[in-house]
Structure 1
Amino acid sequence: MINTYHSSYNPPPVPPRAGYSKPQPAGNSPLVKFLSVMLLLLMILTLGGFLYLFQKLNMQLHGSYYEDMASLQRLQDCADSSMGEDSKTECGKLMEKYKTAIAKVSQANEKLSKLTGGPQFIGPAAHMTALSEQKDKNSDFLKTNRVLWDEDHSLLQDVRFSNKRDKLTIQYPGIYFIYSQVTFSKHATSFGLKQSIKSIEPETQEVKELLKSFCSLDPNASDLCTASLSGVFSLEKDQQLYVTVANTSLVNRDSCSFGLFKLQ
């Protein structure tokens, strides 16, 4: 029997029930639209604030750069010897400001060194020990009245040491603490056991005795005596310092030192 009810068409849709409404997509709700607008406004405000701060910081950096350049130019003008009294007064005030700033930086570096466990002293310094007989192959120590020092067993920081191994040369002017100690092991008959620190001025090459000290020994006893000295001095750039004795053959090299460090 042939099925006359077969059809290739889909059946008609079921009619909706009474009171039924088709749900709306979630993206079309008013709350989502409101949140999207607020997020967009927040992004615009954030970007605008970032651009404003960047522009302001850039202007401040440019202003600080030009101000620093102007200050450096004023410092260069201060070096002109033909400036008037008013300019000298202004230069003096400017130098005081820079000294204050440098002092603050030094204090900050010292605090940082203490916190990080690094060296607590930052600046020119030297501590010299006498040249030993083992290293003094040519007996240079005995050929001069200046005490010679061993660079390999000494501390040198921002201070120059001469090729003749006798003088220290100041590289940074300022107030320095200077000290020296010389030990004598033999008695002197015609002259005293004296040591002194002498200075050579950078421009005039004039020699000055800054400090001196004495000690004495019993000629009938085998003994040692030490002459020590120290002081605070204002030193210039390229000023040279050295230690002298009357006779270097009387010196006990195992207990001699010479040094300095910058106070300000």
Structure 2
Amino acid sequence: MINTFHSSYNPPPPPVPPRTGYRKPQPAVNTPLVKYLSVMLLLLMILTFGGFLYLFQKLNMQLQGSYDEDMTSLQRLQDCVEKNMVEDSMTNCGKLMEKYKAVFAKVLQANEKSVSKLTGGPHFIGPAAHMTALSEHKDKTSEFLKTNNLLWDEDHSLLQDVRLSSKRDMLTIQYPGMYFIYSQVTFSKNSPSVSLKQSIRIVVPKKQEPKELLKSFCSLNPDTSNLCTASLAGVFHLEKEQQIYVTVANSSLVNRDSCSFGLFKLR
């Protein structure tokens, strides 16, 4: 049988065998440059590692020195407390305490700034007072009933850069400025002869008559036993040594458990 199938595809010729002594060309390599870059990279790594090691050792030595200094200072403070010191040693202890007070002051100031940032406003550190009325169990001699000026319990009150008088009725201003003043007096009894009134008054140095700053009233039904509260609040400019107090027409009508008086400096 005759094959009549023909194709136009011609296979490629076989490769030519390599000549004797022929080598395939290799890419050019700059050996000195590679060696130089390798040495520089190694030196850079050594310098970097050495630098980190040096900084670590230096920081560790500084921390250790600071720790040793702190321990020495604490030991000196302990010696100041526990041992009987001569005059020179006590002088050194006093100097050491002054340094610690300065550090404490800086820490407190930093804390106040942190609180200011957290609260969104300045931290209040000015003159302030919040007084509570003298209770009956502390008023052994009934001093509260002997005067129309309300008396305050210093042990259960807040006093900051404001002084309470010896009679426990007046607050004396130490720093001049604008003050917010408030008071609240609760009455538990009624009297047909006097009104249930409270007022805040101020005593100006070298002036005999006090000045009334604020006043308020409340009323009670004489046939029932209930309470009424009179409140006051205002802003005033006060000078140094001026005295502020709360007075009523009759202190025996007052419920001492619900009376307060206070102020704080605005600026």
Give the TM-score category using the shorter length: 0.5 to 0.7
Unpaired segments ≥5 residues, structure 1: 1-107
Match of residue 146, structure 2, among 143, 146, 159: 143
1:124 aligns with 2:127: yes
Shift of 1:188: 1.5
Unaligned runs of 5+ in 2: 1-109
Match for 1:246: what amino acid?
Answer: A
Q: How far is 1:130 from its partner?
A: 0.1
Aligned-residue offset at 1:110: 5.5
Partner of 1:149, secondary structure, is coil
Contact 1:215–1:226 (8 Å) recurs in 2: yes
- TM-score, with structure 2 as normaliser: 0.56
1:109 and 1:202 map into 2 onto residues whose CA distance is 38
Q: Deviations over 1:79-127 (max 9, x none)?
A: xxxxxxxxxxxxxxxxxxxxxxxxxxxxx9964433589x931100000
Query: What does residue 113 of structure 1 align with?
Result: 115
Name the residue aligned to 1:263.
266
Which ranges of 4 or more aligned residues in structure 1 deviate by more than 2 Å?
Answer: 108-117, 203-206
Normalising by structure 1, we get a TM-score of 0.57
Whether the aligned pair in 2 keeps the contact of 1:174 and 1:263 (CA below 8 Å) is yes
Give the aligned partner of residue 31 of structure 2.
none
What is the DSSP-based 3-state SS (H/G/I as helix, E as strand, rest coil) of the residue aligned with 1:127?
A: strand
Task: Tell me how large the CA RMSD over aligned residues is.
Answer: 2.1
> Structure 1 counterpart of 2:138, which letter?
K
Residue among 224, 231, 235 paired with 1:232: 235
Q: Which amino acid in 1 is paired with 2:115?
A: S
Mapped to 2, the partners of 1:168 and 1:174 lie a distance apart of 15
Mapped contact 1:202–1:237 kept (Cα < 8 A): no
Provide the rounded CA distance (Å) in 2 between the counterparts of 1:177 and 1:110: 22
SS at match of 1:113: helix
Q: Aligned partners of 1:114 and 1:205: how far apart in 2?
A: 43
- The 1-side partners of 2:113 and 2:236 are apart by 26
Could you list the per-position Cα deviations for residues 15-69 of structure 1 after superposition, in whole angstroms to 9, with x for gaps in the alignment? xxxxxxxxxxxxxxxxxxxxxxxxxxxxxxxxxxxxxxxxxxxxxxxxxxxxxxx
1:114 alignment partner AA: S
Which amino acid counterpart does residue 198 of structure 2 have in structure 1?
Q
TM-fit CA distance, 1:245: 0.4
Asked which structure has the greater CA Rg, the reply is: 2
